Amino acid sequence: MAGTTTALDQLLARIDDEDPFYYRLEDVRALQLQAADERFQQLRQQMPVLDQRSQDTGTERISGLADMLPLFFSDATYKSYPESLVEQRNWKALGSWVEATSAGANIAQVDVEGVQDIDEWLARLRDAGQYLYVSSGTSGRVSLFHASAKDRERDLAMFRLAWRWATGAVPDQSRPVFALFPVKGSHRMMDSFGRIARDFGRPDAIYYLSDQPLRVTDVNSLGRLRKAIGAGTATPSEIDAFEQKSAEKQVEMQQSLERLADAVVRHRNEPCLFIGTWGPEYRLVKTAVDRGLASGVHPDSVILAGGGLKGIVLPPDFKEQLQQALRLDNSRYLLLYGMAELSTIMPACSQRRYHIAPWMIPIVLDKDSERILEPKDGRLTGRLGFFDLALEGRWGALISGDHGTVDLKPCPCGCPGPSILDTIVRYLDLPGGDDRVNCAGTIDAYVRGALGSAVA
Amino acid sequence: MSSLTGTVVGKVIKVPHIVHGKAVFGDAVEHRSRVGDLFLTPKLDLDALVRPRSEPGPAFEVPLREILDLLGETGRRLNLDTNPHLAEALDLISASSRHSRRVVENTYRVIGQTFEPGALGYQVERELGPGVIDGWVPVYKPNAPSCQVRAFPPRLVHIMAGNGPPAASISIIRGALTKGINLLKLPSNDLFTATAILRTMADIAPDHPTVRSFSAAYWRGGDEAVERLIYRPQYFDKLVAWGGEATIRHALKYVGPGFELVQFDPKVSMSMIGREAFCDAETLERVAGLAAEDVNMMNQEGCASSRHQFVEGDVKEVDRYCAALARQLAVDRFWGDGKIWKTPADIRDTVEGLRFTGTHAVFGHYDGRGLVVRSNEPVDFHPIAKTVNVIPVASLRDAVRYASVATQTVGIYPRERKAEVRDALANAGVQRVVTLGSAIGLATTGQGLPHDGFLPLQRLMRWVSDEESE
Amino acid sequence: MQPPLRRGPTGECVNFIEQLTSFVGADDPYDYRLSDVRELQLAAAHQRFERARGAMPVLDRRASDCGIEKITQVRDLVPLMFSDATYKSYPDSFIAQRKWNALGAWLDALSTSAGAAQLNYDGVTDIDGWIARLADHGHTVYVSSGTSGRCSIFQVSQADREMDVRGFRSAWRWKAGVQPDRSRPVFALMPRSGAHRMMDTFGIVVRDFGRPDATYFLSDTPLLVSEVNRMARLSKDIAAGTATPGDIHAAELAVAAKQAASREAMRRMGEAVTRHRDEPSFFVGTWAPMFALAQAAKTSGLVGGLHPDTLFQTGGGLKGAVLPNDYREQIESILGLKPARNLSLYGMTELTPFMPQCAAGHYHLPPWHVALVLDKSGEQLLAPEDGRVSGRLAFFDVSMDGHWGALVSGDHGTLQLTPCACGRRGPSLLHDIVRYRDLPGGDDKVSCAGTIDTYVRGVIGGETL
């Protein structure tokens, strides 16, 4: 394996191993650092924003974890585009922003003549082979980030790997699939999950939550209205119209769930595949039970669940309820942890721990992201961050908003590689964090939240 | 159909809205009043009722003098004998009111007095200080650079009370004095008085900035479809809410940064009568008359109406007082009727049960002339419909423990005894101590004196400072 | 089938009341023509009025006040109507300050029997002790569950208790042709004992139908009135500002502990339901706990409902409990409750007769129970149009012996005087009965007058049965 191949290539080649998660950290650490430096040197040539950061912090080389710290981005980077560029349809400027925050994107040359909104813009770019993903943007503002062709390919490979590793399921286009997301959209989930759905799904039995594409414009319009309310320029009737539209969407969503639930009941004796996040899956399963799903689904069915709840309120025992209704063995669940802006996902083992691939470097920081924490008894607890070495279309070192524990010791499942305990929470949801009283505030506090929950 | 407003068509009443000073007529929306009568209003145009913050309100820069002139003229025109709006409001209200037409008419005869410009000028100066409402006024703080302060006009939504026309005039007067933008939410139990006053003002000067600062509309109190849209800091600074637990609980949902609640809480009131009342029969009858005056304002439907009375004396003496009070409750008074509707059945049934405990005595009648229940401890029910609960006490100080945060007014006889208990009462939560017989306080409360524990004009303004201004 | 109207030579010595109440033994006590019994009803009502007036000062006063000396028509009953306020009119301070004899004097005034005022109450420390002492001396006192924290207190006679049980047996025979044979598992959604009428009468029904080794109550600890009272007292102390934060916390903990215990009891009962699913069982309780039990049974694995011959006795309002809109459907689908096996009842706690619901959904009145429909204020008798009349429901229970049986309810309903669709000719109430306070509208008035209750935040609500 040695010779002329780079450290990066060596690590990434492991995706084809029988069990890429089966490794000892000390065996790969040197390789990881070397690969990190290779990726860094490669991308700083292409990403002005990364180059700027390395100059500002005087980082020229990565030879240890400490060197990486100043180079970590947060999702704020991918949300840093001015909203006004979208409002004013300044696609050229938005394209320049994307090019500065990504690598290998070639946007300036794409003809965007006549593009009316951001969804059209994204479609136009896609037609020209330039993939930009968006995040779901709970707060009404979406992240925008670039994925190279290679990134997209790896994304799919990663999901196939996770399915095989966690459940043994292989993509043979044989199963009814319940895909709890819209059929189209610029969200990474729609792209990667969509391909998974087609990979595993019997072509005549793939059910999507919606046939309408998920539009960034809708998400953005929420943000824009909030802004207008804050500025005092929104009229009561505009607020009313928006709220009514949201209510209609809720109704559509419910009808859609019922349609899917009936299909679940129909296919209950075939091995199916469920793919989505916790919130919609819970609602689907509850609806299916109400509509006659009495004794679970076929025992060979598999289910992918994950993602935060994004402010959706579910009963505390929703996972148990879901399990009771589906009656699937633990081994039929593919539980995932990952960040939307990164490519490498972390599947959970039988012990409900999320395993980290060798081409992904975890770091654990203090709450304020200023210090790298030292392990205690082989464990690290604090703010999670990852350097995903697989990414080449953007910078893969990202700090999350999550609090969690990384165990560097072997996992009880038998795998010696590092894993993350099933105790991950968003800092936002941690108790006590918000009990400080302070008289400083933002206009956001003055916009009453009747406008929440408007995104899919 | 002959007149333009408040038209009675069969049994259906049309209630106009006022939008920026102009009356708007229409019958697009049906409502039911609390007595079950149907009434019609124009369709609510919420966009028209809010004014964007990008422009100041019409009266923000009008000198106080001009506003007082307008209010003074309004007061003169609020003459029941010559003002068609007021006469019409009186007809409509007394048609559905439980009070006698005489009492309702009396309340309309006095509202003009509340607009007296001299008193209102005093109120502004007393509550805000001189000049500060008309512009930036220098303030001198020791060892600090000089600063200027202005009481800046606010944007207000008033959730009005409907138990008597003075409630409407007070809201309008305060709104006008602030120079701010005012949206009045009409109460279902008085849909007419506020619009009658506003239309009187518009008759005087249709384009006056103060007139254009007022809108008035009806929607069902607590209607989320309306309130969630307009109760926002981008449109209004403060919600001025009168009474009604449900109203206040609704309003609280919308209170948050930038949107404040100024509440006049729902209240109960009581009386304290010293042993001096028993010095002779004539005095006792006179004191009972004063006490009846405090009970019977708007037939005991106000917050200042006395419901419990603590009397210094033994049971025999107190029973004599109770008998006198029952007689006095049956007398017609300016603010109340000698005979009203029957005592509610649940109070009657309760009192009939209490009669046989050996510790209670009952005076008066269930027929609306007035009922007095004497007991050792306050009764467990809430006395309404001219029902008074009299409790003997050894000394007025013993009665203080029955006052609480819900107590607004305590009327005391004789006046000299007030000093003896007023600190203890204030400590218990009481907001107002008056001489027995003066609980109505129309000319005093809120007009330069505190109302519900604060100076209302001062609370309504937005206080802005210019620091180190020289 | 109908006992003929018998008159003695002078009219006095004939017991009209008994003539009327003996209908309880008829095959179908609800199948009669009102015109056939009206005269007897009025004669019996007058007889009852005379008897009660002589024994109850409160009634005597009311009669004198409104000048009613004789009952010759239904209208004469209107001014004589009491309300539940009558039986709630005792001062709380009597209980707080343990003035048991004064409370006894009050009870005497509202009962046809005397003696409560003079009893020796030495050693009685709370209201439950007071009730027990009265019971020792032959006075049965019932307490209703006051949703507002204030209970009605009233006395019934031995005859009333017997009539109550006979009424229930008759209703069961009528509804489902069932005889009490002590054969069924019984699920009684109430405590085993307590001063509530439900515990007394239903307790007898439970023993009537229940197999002794398979009778389940929600709780074996008696329902204590003093507990309900304690909550009311705390509320008062909070209002007066004398309750400490510690007091409030202790009360909250007690409520939470009680709720936890009742959830646990419900869970156990749910398991028992599932265990006995193949036997014809008997359920008795109000809707809210019935719903909780259905949920508990479902959780414990009940699928496919219960034995088809299972009987249900339901009724009662929701008493402020918040249930999903489809709670009836849910109960029906989980437990397999069928209308034909469900004895649904309407009635007032303070009066004996409970009115059973027929197949057409109407609640039927036995001949000794006179229904009146009044205006909202409860003052005017309304006249029927086309055989129906809607308004405030009021009743005169001619059988009521221990206290005065004329009572205005808080409910709005419709009385039908023409024969019911089920075939019975007697008067009936339509099923759309609602409490006036639950009717929409009418509360949009704003006034500055209030009560101290506004100032007590409701952390300690939802405590009563």
- ipTM field: 0.79
Distance separating alpha carbons of residues A407 and A422, to the nearest angstrom: 11
CB B21 within 8 A of CB B202: yes
Whether A103 has a pLDDT exceeding 70, the answer reads: yes
pLDDT in tens, B401-421: 999 888 999 999 999 999 999
pLDDT in tens, C253-281: 888 888 888 889 999 999 999 999 999 99
Residue B96 covered by a domain: yes
Kindly indicate the confidence band of residue C463, based on its pLDDT and cuts at 50, 70 and 90: very low
Kindly indicate the confidence band of residue A308, based on its pLDDT and cuts at 50, 70 and 90: low
CB A182 within 8 A of CB A212: yes
Q: Are strands B306-312 and B268-273 parallel, antiparallel or unpaired?
A: parallel
Residue B322 covered by a domain: yes
What is the distance in angstroms between the CA of the first residue and the CA of the last residue of chain B? 62
* Residues B54, B174 within the same domain: yes
CB A379 within 8 A of CB A44: no
DSSP character string of C185-243: EEEEEEES-BSSHIIIIIHHHHHHHEEEEEEEEEESSPBPHHHHHHHHHHHHHHHHT--
Higher pLDDT, A36 or B470: A36
* pLDDT average, residue stretch A178-202: 86
* pLDDT average, residue stretch B444-451: 76
Kindly state the greatest CA–CA separation across chain A: 69
Can you point out the beta strands (E) in C105-168? Answer: 140-143, 153-156
Domain boundaries, chain A: 144-348
User: Any CB–CB contact under 8 A between B229 and chain A?
Assistant: yes
Share of chain C above pLDDT 90, in %: 44
pLDDT in tens, B344-369: 888 998 998 898 888 899 999 999 99
Q: Which residues of B touch A236 (CB under 8 A)?
A: 46-47, 49-50, 229-230, 235
The size of chain B, in residues, is 470
Whether B376 has a pLDDT exceeding 60, the answer reads: yes
Residue B178: closest CA among B262, B57, B78: B57
User: Any CB–CB contact under 8 A between B55 and chain A?
Assistant: no
Q: How many secondary structure helices (H) and strands (E) does chain C include?
A: 14, 14
Contact check, Cβ <8 Å, C443/B246: yes
Give the chains touching A; criterion: ≥3 Cβ pairs < 8 Å: B
Q: Are strands B8-9 and B12-14 parallel, antiparallel or unpaired?
A: antiparallel
* pLDDT average, residue stretch B45-56: 90
Beta bridge partners of B17: B24
DSSP character string of A46-82: H-HHHHHHHHHHT-----SHHHHGGG-B-HHHHT-S-
Distance separating alpha carbons of residues B417 and B86, to the nearest angstrom: 42
Whether B39 has a pLDDT exceeding 60, the answer reads: yes
* pLDDT average, residue stretch A85-96: 89
- C-alpha B79: how far from chain center: 21
Distance separating alpha carbons of residues A22 and A415, to the nearest angstrom: 5
CB B89 within 8 A of CB B6: yes
Query: Mean pLDDT, chain C, as a whole number?
Result: 85
Q: For the domain that residue B186 is a member of, what is the CATH number?
A: 3.40.605.10
Residue B441 covered by a domain: no
Q: Looking at B94-103, B216-225, B291-300, C221-230, which range is the least confident one?
A: C221-230
Helix (H, G, I), strand (E, B) or coil at B391: strand
Query: Distance, in angstroms, between B16 CA and closest chain C CA?
Result: 18
CB C424 within 8 A of CB C30: yes
Distance separating alpha carbons of residues C157 and A364, to the nearest angstrom: 78
CB B146 within 8 A of CB B468: yes
* Residues B162, B44 within the same domain: yes
* pLDDT average, residue stretch C396-420: 94
Q: At what angle do helices C100-109 and B345-354 cross, to 10 degrees?
A: 120
B267 DSSP 8-state letter: B
pLDDT score at C107: 95
Q: Which residues of B touch A226 (CB under 8 A)?
A: none
Distance separating alpha carbons of residues A47 and A64, to the nearest angstrom: 22
CB B154 within 8 A of CB B234: no
Distance separating alpha carbons of residues C270 and C272, to the nearest angstrom: 5
Contact check, Cβ <8 Å, C109/B356: yes
Contact check, Cβ <8 Å, B234/A234: yes
Kindly indicate the confidence band of residue C222, based on its pLDDT and cuts at 50, 70 and 90: confident
* pLDDT average, residue stretch B199-224: 94
Query: Distance, in angstroms, between B50 CA and closest chain A CA?
Result: 8
Residue B54 covered by a domain: yes
Contact check, Cβ <8 Å, B243/C93: no
CB B314 within 8 A of CB B358: no
* Residues B113, B234 within the same domain: yes
Can you point out the beta strands (E) in C58-183? Answer: 140-143, 153-156
- Closest residue on chain A to B46 (Cα): A236
* pLDDT average, residue stretch B87-114: 91
Q: In what order do the strands lie in the sheet with A346-347?
A: A201-210, A175-182, A273-275, A302-306, A333-337, A346-347
Higher pLDDT, B325 or A136: B325
Which of A236, A237, A446 lies closest to B233 in CB terms?
A446
Share of chain C above pLDDT 70, in %: 89
pLDDT in tens, C87-107: 999 998 898 899 999 999 999
Q: Which of B46, B232, B238, B259 to mutate to test the interface with A (most CBs of A within 10 A)?
A: B232
Beta bridge partners of A177: A206, A273
Residue B452: closest CA among B415, B406, B414: B406
Q: Looking at A25-29, A418-422, B103-107, B220-224, which range is the least confident one?
A: B220-224
Q: Other C-beta atoms within 10 Å of C7: how many?
A: 10
Residue B237: closest CA among B253, B260, B210: B260
Backbone dihedral angles phi then psi of residue C64, each to the nearest 5 degrees:
-65, -45
User: Any CB–CB contact under 8 A between B360 and chain C?
Assistant: yes
Helix (H, G, I), strand (E, B) or coil at A88: coil
Distance separating alpha carbons of residues C282 and C210, to the nearest angstrom: 8
H/E stretch holding C296: helix C287-299
- Closest residue on chain B to A235 (Cα): B47
Q: Which residues of C touch B171 (CB under 8 A)?
A: none
Q: Which residues of B touch A232 (CB under 8 A)?
A: 52-54, 234-235
Residue B388 covered by a domain: yes
Instruction: Count the helix, strand and coil residues of chain B and give each as a percent rounded to the nearest 5.
Output: 40, 20, 40
Contact check, Cβ <8 Å, B234/A448: no
Residue B447 covered by a domain: no
* pLDDT average, residue stretch B445-468: 89
Query: Mean pLDDT, chain B, as a whole number?
Result: 91
Q: Are strands B155-159 and B238-242 parallel, antiparallel or unpaired?
A: parallel
pLDDT score at C451: 59
User: Any CB–CB contact under 8 A between B254 and chain A?
Assistant: yes
Whether A31 has a pLDDT exceeding 80, the answer reads: yes
* Residues B242, B360 within the same domain: no
* pLDDT average, residue stretch B130-138: 94
Contact check, Cβ <8 Å, B257/A232: no
pLDDT in tens, A377-388: 999 999 999 999
Contacts of B260 (CB under 8 A, 6+ apart): B237, B238, B239
Which of B47, B254, B258 lies closest to A235 in CB terms?
B47
**CATH placement of domain A144-348:** 3.40.50.980
Q: Which residues of B touch C448 (CB under 8 A)?
A: 161, 163, 167, 242-243, 264, 266-267, 302-303
At residue A56, what is the residue type? D
Size of interface B-C (CB pairs under 8 A): 170
Q: Report, in angstroms and rounded to the nearest whole number, the Rg of chain A calculated over CA atoms.
A: 22
* pLDDT average, residue stretch B335-349: 92
Distance separating alpha carbons of residues A129 and B293, to the nearest angstrom: 87
pLDDT score at C440: 59
Whether B400 has a pLDDT exceeding 90, the answer reads: yes
Q: Report, in angstroms and rounded to the nearest whole number, the Rg of chain C calculated over CA atoms.
A: 23
Distance separating alpha carbons of residues C72 and C41, to the nearest angstrom: 10
Range of the domain at B372: 268-435
User: Any CB–CB contact under 8 A between B54 and chain A?
Assistant: yes
* Residues B93, B198 within the same domain: yes
Higher pLDDT, B53 or C382: C382
Higher pLDDT, A436 or B11: B11
Residue B3 covered by a domain: no
Kindly indicate the confidence band of residue A139, based on its pLDDT and cuts at 50, 70 and 90: low
Query: Distance, in angstroms, between C147 CA and closest chain B CA?
Result: 16
Contact check, Cβ <8 Å, B254/A448: yes
Q: Looking at B171-185, B259-273, C141-155, C384-398, which range is the least confident one?
A: C141-155
* Residues B116, B101 within the same domain: yes
CB A225 within 8 A of CB A234: yes
Contact check, Cβ <8 Å, B50/A239: no
Q: For the domain that residue B387 is a member of, what is the CATH number?
A: 3.40.309.10
Q: Which of A227, A229, A235 to mutate to test the interface with B (most CBs of B within 10 A)?
A: A235
Kindly indicate the confidence band of residue B205, based on its pLDDT and cuts at 50, 70 and 90: very high
A437 DSSP 8-state letter: -
Instruction: Count the helix, strand and coil residues of chain C and give each as a percent rounded to the nearest 5.
Output: 40, 15, 40
Give the chains touching B; criterion: ≥3 Cβ pairs < 8 Å: A, C
DSSP character string of B146-212: -EEEEEEPPEEEEE---SSHHHHHHHHHHHHHHT-EEEEE--TT-SSHHHHHHHHHHHH-TT-HHHH
CB B42 within 8 A of CB B26: yes
Q: Other C-beta atoms within 10 Å of B130: how many?
A: 10
